[in-house]
Amino acid sequence: MCGIIGYIGGRNASQIVLGGLENLEYRGYDSVGMAVTDPARDGTDIRRAVGEVSELTEEYDIIALDGTTGIGHTRWATHGSVSEHNAHPHTCCTERVSIVHNGIIKNYEEIAERLESHEFSSETDSEVIAHFLGEQLRNGTSLHDAIQQFAVQAEGTYAVVAVDTETGELFGFKHGSPLAVGIGDDEYFIGSDVHAFGEHTQDVVFLEDNDYVILDLDGPAFHHTEDGPVEKEITTVDESAVGNGKGDYDHHMLKEIHEQPDALYRLQESLNRSQHEKVERFVELLQENNKVLFTAAGTSYHATLLGVYYLQKAGIEAQTLISSEFQNYERVDEDTLLIAVSQSGETRDTLDAIEYSQERGAEIASIVNMPHSAIQRESTVSLEIQAGKEVAVAATKTFSNTVLTLLHLAVAAGYDGQIGNISEHMRSVIQENEPRIQELAAELADEDDMYVIGRGSTYPVSREIALKLKEVPYIHAEGMMGGELKHGTLALIEDGTPVFALVPEEDDEIVSNVHEVEARGGNVIHISPYYGDFDIPEDRDAFPLYATTLGFLLSYHLGRERGCPIDKPRNLAKTVTVR
């Protein structure tokens, strides 16, 4: 979940690393730090602060740090409290090695016990990496052997970037957490993903598990802990995938909501043209396998619930399971198609579900936003949702584009659905309804409990809207099937309790559930083409997208009314790369 960045070259490393940290802050913002050094001098300058990247720049003159090699880290806390001494980078006792780490070292206490002569200064699992490497190098072990020894002894997941102040080398190694190397003109970058350095180069090498790289000014040397030196392919990534900036918007979340029409149009063009052959192959796999099973987490899981609904309409039996519980509730075999859905393509629990399924002979397909991601690389066929970079922790345009991808697949597989001019309809939904959403947010800003009810295709929407109400304005919200109200939740409905009813058709069964709420004094807000205050197209198959977007806007404006940190909700991070 943390973000890591490294640089070696001829420029001011502190400036490069600082920019990379700002680009990676969506991965964690509990604390931040960097280390800068130069082969021409001894020692390393380390600066750390609690909070966001801005806290580091307010406390220190970062750009004044002298050095052409640097590493940086923005933290999402797992082991140890949020404090400056737990912030990265961590350094070994001799100060020769400084490291930044994303992941979890499960057996760090055992490794620390074997380093009994070392003095630890933090509560983190990560610090043991610096001391382990420092001990190995102090004893005359080569850097290659030190990394290989760590790979043998460490249990868990890790992506590590480190600097050796004695040689001036930058090095990185990984297992289970993502790490990418950027190839520039006589300068080199390494980071959690291409966002870390995308403004400097789009030429990237993606490391696989147990790969490691040693970087100096002569270029990268790639190795595998068991196989020795390896050749790696350089991939040129699409610049649109690494774009940044809020433009004229106050928050990334609002910008990304408003980007949905263009993102949907771009996706439709891609599915009909450049990705058409992959769509056909995807449909073949859907029809060839006896069992179709989705796995995903969070917002992507809610999208797969809609995918199940659409595929069932196409006559394809499908199910979905949350990735973190995959092994507890499902059994797969060689007749199973597992469809992994992840906006980042790096979600740890989803990768675990893939590995579990591969061991049992299942075919793997995927739907991702990030090209060349780990999940895509494990797939027989993979569709890219073309949403572009999404910075806000609360996923919006990636949800809409994932749902459209699933609807497109279902139609290609035989579902008599109507996609229509969804991008222009979405533009109209946003423009026509945002003023009313703003008014509604002001009316409901003091409410701490809300409910969202749906049926059929709108049940997943109710779950997704409730998630956003929790993530952004910190409101307790429950999204549920309307038919389940009477089985417990109705007891919580009091005078004025806000209940959002998703009503896609005039005679929808949800109307009877609305009457149940009204009879108990609940404040029913209809999201419907037929009832209430919103202007929504009469488009049955795309209604889930329009309704969810209204939920996105409501969550955003409620967050503003309640003074919440909209793009960076407390305790959350964008990309979940730990179990």
Question: In the chain, what are the domains?
Answer: 3-242 (3.60.20.10), 245-417 (3.40.50.10490), 421-579 (3.40.50.10490)
CA distance 47 to 55: 11
Q: Are strands 336-342 and 291-296 parallel, antiparallel or unpaired?
A: parallel
CA distance 66 to 88: 19
pLDDT at 221 over 60: yes
pLDDT, mean of residues 478-493: 92
Residue tagged active-site, from 174, 468, 568, 574: 574
pLDDT for the residue numbered 28: 85
| Averaged pLDDT of the chain | 93
Tokens of 145: 């052997």
pLDDT digits (tens, 9 = 90+) for 229-285: 999 999 998 765 555 678 889 999 999 999 999 999 999 999 999 999 999 999 999
Q: How far is CA 282 from the centre of its chain?
A: 24
pLDDT digits (tens, 9 = 90+) for 146-200: 999 999 999 999 999 999 988 889 999 999 889 999 999 999 999 998 889 989 9
What does the chain come to in residues?
579
Q: H-helix or E-strand containing 90?
A: strand 90-91
Tokens of 259: 């980007």
Q: What is residue 33's DSSP assignment?
A: E
DSSP β-bridge partners for residue 366: 340, 382
- Other CB atoms within a 10 A radius of the CB of residue 274 amount to 11
Task: Name the band, by pLDDT with cuts 50, 70 and 90, for residue 550.
Answer: very high
Residue tagged active-site, from 2, 255, 313, 568: 2
CA distance 352 to 323: 8
- Whole-prediction pTM: 0.85
pLDDT digits (tens, 9 = 90+) for 90-139: 999 999 999 999 999 999 999 999 998 999 999 999 999 999 999 999 99
The residue among 448 and 28 whose pLDDT is bigger is: 448
User: What's the Cα-to-Cα distance from 257 to each of 66, 243, 316, 351, 435, rounded to whole Å?
Assistant: 41, 16, 32, 28, 15
pLDDT for the residue numbered 479: 97
CA distance 138 to 47: 25
Q: Are strands 381-384 and 180-183 parallel, antiparallel or unpaired?
A: unpaired
Contacts of 285 (CB under 8 A, 6+ apart): 337, 363, 365, 380, 381
pLDDT for the residue numbered 244: 60
Q: What is residue 570's DSSP assignment?
A: T
> Catalytic: 92?
no
pLDDT for the residue numbered 64: 84
pLDDT at 545 over 70: yes
pLDDT at 577 over 90: no
pLDDT digits (tens, 9 = 90+) for 376-422: 999 999 999 999 989 999 999 999 999 999 999 999 999 998 888 89
pLDDT digits (tens, 9 = 90+) for 56-69: 999 999 888 889 99
| In contact, 145 and 136? CB cutoff 8 Å | yes
CA distance 45 to 36: 5
CA distance 504 to 530: 8
pLDDT for the residue numbered 254: 98
pLDDT at 20 over 60: yes
pLDDT for the residue numbered 573: 77
Q: Are strands 363-368 and 336-342 parallel, antiparallel or unpaired?
A: parallel
Task: Name the band, by pLDDT with cuts 50, 70 and 90, for residue 461.
Answer: very high
Q: How far is CA 3 from the centre of its chain?
A: 12
pLDDT for the residue numbered 241: 56
Q: What is residue 71's DSSP assignment?
A: E
| In contact, 235 and 377? CB cutoff 8 Å | no
Contacts of 553 (CB under 8 A, 6+ apart): 257, 430, 433, 434, 437
CA distance 329 to 376: 24
> Catalytic: 574?
yes
Contacts of 295 (CB under 8 A, 6+ apart): 304, 320, 321, 322, 323, 326, 338, 339, 340, 341, 350, 353, 354
